[in-house]
Structures are given as structure tokens and as C-alpha cells.
A and B are shown apart, each in its own frame.
Chain A
């Protein structure tokens, strides 16, 4: 294995010498360098994030001040969907749908995994590049294409897809049922199919790279936890994304070729449709077979980033390295057999519901192990509160808060009454939305010097974190209560229910926090884009970290290391090792004579 890796090095070294003259196009556009592709993913992810978050602010305004006229609605949504500045009910559903789709897939899957898997896998395992740079490039450009198609669906005549991000048929299959299920839905499906192809190419690349291209001495138990989570995430992606692809294809068949996979016995707009024998429940199974692992595809990389950043900034080894790996594996395994907890009341056999309750609540165990290990990592540390560290601590906090309510939603009995209410929204936004976003921010603050050779402004980072932290709780904590009051999600307004009149003040509060929190993301955007050009120049290893990416030069070169790839002699968490005077020992430092390994 190591001999093969060596052979690969030489090949690349050789290539490297003849590869100095990159044109603008090969360097910045059709690049096959993993570092550039990572940056491309990041910038695309940020742009999609701006759009996704802006959409949520728009519909939050509608929820707080229902059917009130806002000039901005008219400006952004046009005369058709916001005549006189009042948001129409079908565009409300479209905004909700596209917000979910963009945030889950384009920001927190591609934006997060795409950026950091690409950036860190070769750098941290000691490889010149991904196993297939070309496939990596194709993966990014397919992602870009799918993003363009998704955004173009916003401009079709009848509006974009509006059946919810879960696109349950028959609503998503029948334009008679909702206008967004016409061209808008077609574009959604095409975009997702391309997205899945992109995601699969990326994932296969990550898996192959981690397995084959580790440098000498980099055994699996010396991999940083980031790599472990990216590796496991890629495996879950390869297992589950194809199932969504098949669901999308069958839905396309039902929509366009008259098959009846998901449709049966439908009478709509005054006529009986020909569909017979299909079942929407089948679609739900196929969708959630991806859909649930998907939330772990989103959160696992964030967990990896947070583990790494916490260890570095605590100047302490991550507590329970092996337990962390085991829990990632356990979560990954369980994540594939719990999808039915989204379907307790879908009409599937209640006995099946019992099984899914059992497997779902089991996930709490590895999750608890992770949370306690992070907390113990902080104990007796020497905490360096860089912005990345703040976001990491914030991530653990929201992961716990959001995760705990999962005990309610994962229990079929309790799910009956909170299913599809705002309680669910509060739960999953905290546990996977905000947490993964925090993980992503932490990653950006931590590895920005590696990506751009400059530092982000820390004071802006502090402001960004604290305002976001207060607003995130301000938005999602009160939301639990309106969910417990029985308010269903995806309601354009609840003014038709006097029963919910007393929830309106809470809605106003939530929206206010959302607007403030949203506005303060501008601080981050300013910091990010101005620091690319004007930030303080970074040193080679600004956070005094042990992992291999900090042994590469600040200026990017194709092939990562100018000379030979460093060899690895120790695990990645030798912080404050009592055998050494300095408080960090990089992985490429050989063991001292007679030095004992102090961890399991």
C-alpha cells in the first residue's frame, strides 16, 4: 500500500515540473487542483446560502405580518406573485420549498462536504491531489450546472416547485394540484438528478483517495477525525443518494409517461385520472431512505471539523479518539435504518413504526457519547477562543439542544401530535441546520488561511458569532412552543384559525430575531470577501496545529508539497503531550527515542 502511494508521488512530482504554466481557464475555471475546486464549492455554496437564507427571511416576514404589504416583496417576487407587495399563497409555498432544497442540498451537502472534503482530504492524508482530479472537476461543474438549473426554475411562468422540499407525490406530480408542479417541478427533478451525479462522483473520489493515497505512516487510526467523518459521509452518500435518484426517475415517469408508481385512484379538477395501483407511501420510503441519511451527510462533516478545531484550540487531544470513530460508524450504520421515523403516521403498518422507534432512539447513544467527549475535551484545556473555536462550541450547544427534542420526535407515540408542526422545524433547524452551519463557519474561519493565505478579521468573527448565537436561539427556541400549541408547518398564514391568535406575538419575535441574525451574516460576507484581498498575511501554521495541511507552504502549489510528501509518525492529537516541551507535536515529527504512545 505504502509502496503504491510512493509510486504515485513520483508520478506527480514529475508531472509537477512540467505543469507550471496554468492558463487562467485551467487555473480558475476548469481546475483539477483540489484546493481550487474546494474554493469553487465554497463560493458557490455561499452564494446559494445567501439566496436560501434570504428566502427564509421573506417568508418569515409573511408569517409575522400576514398578508401585509411590503415593497420588497413586490421588488423581489414581481407583480404576479406579490401584487401590491402582498405575498401570494402559492409563492409562499415555493419559497419554503426552494429554501429547504437549497439549504439542505446546495449549502450543507455540496457547500460543506464539497469544500472541506476537497480541501482537507489530500492535505491531511498527505496526497498530491484527489485520486481523480478530472472527475473532481466534473463533479464541481455538474454541481454548478444543477445549481443554475435550480435557480432558473425560479423564473418559470407558473413558479418554481412548491410541494415542499420532500416533493411528496401526488402533489408534486400533478400540475392541477399546485401550479409549481409543472415546469418548476420538472426543473427541480432535473437539477436534483444532476446534483446526485455530482455528489456520487465526489463521494467515490473521496473514498478512493482516503483508502489509497495516504502517505507513509498514515494508518487509519492516525487519520484526523475530519477525514474519518468525510470518509464515512461519502460512504453513506454512495449508499443512499442512488435511491433518491431512482425515486426521482420514477416520479419523472409518473409525471411524463403516464406510469403509476406513486399514484392511484385520483380525482382532481373534476375528472378521474387513469393512475391505478401506485402508492405515495412507496415514494416516502424511497425519499427518506436518502432523506434521513442525508441529515447525517450534513452533520457528520460538521462534527469532524468541530472535533479537529476543538482539539487544536483546547491544546488538548480530542477526548476518546477511538470512541469518536466508533460513534461515527455507529451513527452512520444506524442512519440508514431509521428513515421510517418520518413516516409514523403515513399509513404504514404501526408495527413497522415500533421498529423504527427502536432504531431511532438508539442513535441517541452514539450522539450522547460524542457530546460528552467534546465537553470533556474542553475540561482542563487551555482554550484559545479563535472565532472557529466559538463556532465549534456553539455547534455542540445547538446539537445538544436540538438533539434532545429528537427523543420526542423519534418516539412514535409522541410524534403523533407534534408531527409536521413547528416543533419539528425547531428541532431539525437546531440539530442539523444551525449545527451544520456552525460547523461550516468554524471550518471557514479555521482553514481560511489555508485556502487564501490570509487571515479573517477575528473581531468581526466574534461579532458574527455572538449575534448569530443569540439570534439562532431567539428564532428556534420559541418555535418549540408554537409547535406544541399544534400549529402546522407550511401554513401561509394562521389567521384563519382564531385558536392560534395567541401565537402571533411569538411569530413576530421569531421573525425579528431572524431578520437581525440574517442581517449580521453581512458581517461575515464582508469579512470573507474583503479578507481574500486585504486580510493580514497568514503564517504557515497560525493555529499551531499538528495536522499535515499546515506543513504545506502558504502559497498554493499544484501537488501541495514542494519536495517529498512528509511521512507520518504519530496520531493527529499530540497537543500538550507531557513528553514534549512545546504544546503541539505535528504528525510528521518522528517519535523521540523511547517515547511512549500515551493514548489508545
Chain B
């Protein structure tokens, strides 16, 4: 409602301004010539000064923005390659600000300085090969450096050495949730295809693949600090993108293919929470949430929970109506905690077995109503046999 009011105010303001210009036009009626709508010396002068004012606006707005919102940008990277990325980013930013400062300064300064006057004559200055050479060569050299650094970093990040000791984890995307699959003892992920999705086996893992027997499927991602994690991404339905901003990591999940990204986490979740910038950020967020809560409670709603930081995996490729809520918590543990956490998880094979076992008596109970006990026993045995056969099949 308030914004409707704002819009009405703006429209009225526009009408008022229009009236003002009309009055301004009328004052010039006496001198109404055919070129009354062409800029006069007076216009040139006024607009020239506004040009200068606008330059000041850009500079001040930039500085204000950096001070006020600079802290919102992602801070300390939580992965090893993140340092490389941020380093390149900072260099690029310095370059951008220098160029922006100079070029905008020249553009608006020249506009102000050379504002037109009928007694003036412009300088006929059509070309200069020297100048063209200067501003072709300088950007070329600077860009060459950036390209080289960028490609060096890119090659370091994107190519995983085959012999490297890594932990393999599958990130599985579907509308609108994430699932992770750990490779288990053998550190090799079993084959999978969506055509094999059945019951608890929601990822379509090929249970006839020996490598799949010790795979573990979970809905919360835990990774150990200091060890390279090699993610293999899959999608079951549409394009998704696995985005982990704090790790400077992102890769699309594409149905029909496996994509990959690898990084080494460098801060455990609790270490990252303790970083000074994060403490400050969380305090600020909780302050905002507390204010919002007061508002909500006044309206009869429930207060918001206070927030503690967790690493996140977000979906960053439009994937449907609930795209905005497709996320998974990521926990970076110490290697010991990680090992402990993982050892407590059951394997997919066990899950399937348990599900079948749970299903079997239920089915049995149903069938007793319309068949003999003998048939029931037979059916249960058949089911168990089938499951065992499937699991044992190699």
C-alpha cells in the first residue's frame, strides 16, 4: 500500500515538474523562434554545470557504496583455490576502479569544460595514429597479463590430477532438493542412471555394480577440512547449478551427463563462524532479524529464530517455481569428526534391505485378509529372496 502511495506521489511530482517546464516555456514566448527547442548558450551553461555535478554524484555514490555495502561482499574464501580467485579478483578491481575513475572524470570534465558558446569554435581534430596506438596497446598489455593470470588460475582449479588423493562425492540435484552420495570404503562411486530409480534408491544407483555396494546416500553434506573433495554432479530432471559461494565453487548439474568440480576446504564450519568479519556479519543479521521479529509479533506472527552461520549449497540455475528455496547445508568437519560422522551412516545397500524388510511384513499383513497363511509365508520368502538376490548379484 505504501508503495502505491509512493507511486502516486511520484506521478504528482512529475505533473508538478511538467507544469514548471510549461511555465518556463511560456516565459520564453516572446523570443519564440523556430530554434527555441535547440539548446541555447544558457542551456549549455546550466547543463555543463549539471554534468560536473553528476560526476561528483558518481564519485560520491561509489565511495558511499563501498563504505556502506562493501562489507556485504563475500569475504575470506573457505577453500584453497579461493585465495587464488580472490587475489585475481582484487587485482581486477583495482584496475577497474582506476580506469573508471579516470575515464568518467575525463568524460564529464570535458563535458563541463567545453560547454558550448556561440562565440566559440571547436578544434578540428580528426585523428591521431599515435593516440589510437596508445589506447590500443595499453589495454592489450594489461589484458594480456590478466588473461595469463586468469588462465593459470583456471587450469589450476578445473583440472583434477588423476593420481591425486581425493574424496569422491556425488551431488545429486532434483526439483527442488539436493542429495549427496559418498563413495564409501572403495572411494569409487557406483554407476547410476535415472532409469534405475526405484523406492529408496532415489538416485538410481546401479546396485549390480560392485562399486555401489558401499555407497552412502545422505541429505546433509559433510566434508573434511584440508582434504581435496572431488564432486561429481548429476541432475535428475532439469538444469541446476551447484553453487557454494563461500568456497568459490560452482558447476551446473546437467541431466544426461556428469559434471565435476573439486576443492580443498580450509576452515571448518566452527572456525569460519569465529572469523571476525563473520561474527560481525552474524551480529548485524541477527539485529535485523530481531527488528523484523518485533514487527512480526506486533502483527500477530511468530518471531524469527536467531541465525547461526552455516556453509550453503544453493541452486543457481533457474529450475522451476521453487528454485528460490533449493538449498543444502554444508558442514566442514575436522578429518576426525568427518570420519566419525560418515561411519555412523548406513550404506545404500543396507537402506534398500531395510526398506524391503519393512515392506515385506506390511505386504504380508495385507495379503492375509484375502489369502491363506501359506501363501503369505511364500510371498514373504519370495520377496526376501528377490532382494537378497538383487543385493548379492555382482
Contact = CB atoms under 8 A, between A and B. Distances in A.
Nearest to A168: B239
Nearest to A320: B127
B37 A456 contact: yes
Contacts of A401: 100, 104
B318 A163 contact: yes
Interface in A460-480: 460, 462-463, 466, 469-470, 473-474, 477-478
B132 interface: yes
A386 interface: yes
Interface string A400-419: 11001101100111101101
Given A411-B150, A416-B250, A458-B43, A576 B237 contact: no
B96 A279 contact: no
Contacts of A376: 125, 131
A393 B325 contact: no
Interface string B316-360: 111111111101000000000000000000000000000000000
B239 A280 contact: yes
Interface string A339-370: 00000011100100110011001101100110
Contacts of B58: 397, 473
Interface in B23-40: 24-25, 32, 34-39
Contacts of A493: 324
Interface string A418-460: 0111000000000000000000000000000000000111111
A5 interface: no
Contacts of B10: 515-516, 519-520
Given A268-B236, A397-B104, A491 B323 contact: yes
Interface in B157-199: 157-159, 174-175, 193-195, 197
A267 B175 CA distance: 10
A178 B89 contact: no
A598 B70 CA distance: 50
A375 B155 contact: no
Contacts of B36: 455, 536
B257 interface: yes
Contacts of A358: 147, 151
A374 B108 CA distance: 12
Contact of B248 (A321, A416, A488, A497): A416
B251 interface: yes
Given A267-B237, A519-B11, A477 B117 contact: no
Interface stretch (A26-34, A169-177, A288-296): A169-177
Contacts of A412: 150-151, 154
A372 B135 contact: yes
B249 interface: yes
Instruction: Specify which of B61, B233, B237 lies most central, judged by the most chain A CB atoms within 10 Å of its CB.
Output: B237
Contacts of B289: 498, 501
Contacts of B254: 279-281, 346-347
B88 A405 contact: no
A494 to B, nearest CB: 7
B25 A272 contact: no
A156 interface: no
Contacts of B85: 413-414, 416-417
13 contacts: A168-B317, A177-B319, A268-B238, A272-B197, A320-B128, A378-B110, A384-B39, A385-B43, A470-B54, A485-B74, A493-B324, A519-B10, A523-B14
Interface of B: 1, 3-4, 6-7, 10-11, 14, 17-18, 21, 24-25, 32, 34-39, 43-44, 47-48, 50-51, 54, 57-58, 61-62, 65, 69-70, 72-74, 84-85, 88-89, 92, 95-96, 99-100, 103-104, 106-108, 110-111, 114-117, 120-129, 131-132, 135-136, 139-140, 143, 146-147, 150-151, 153-155, 157-159, 174-175, 193-195, 197, 204, 233, 236-239, 241, 243, 245-246, 248-252, 254-257, 259, 281, 284-285, 288-289, 292, 304, 307, 309, 312, 314-325, 327
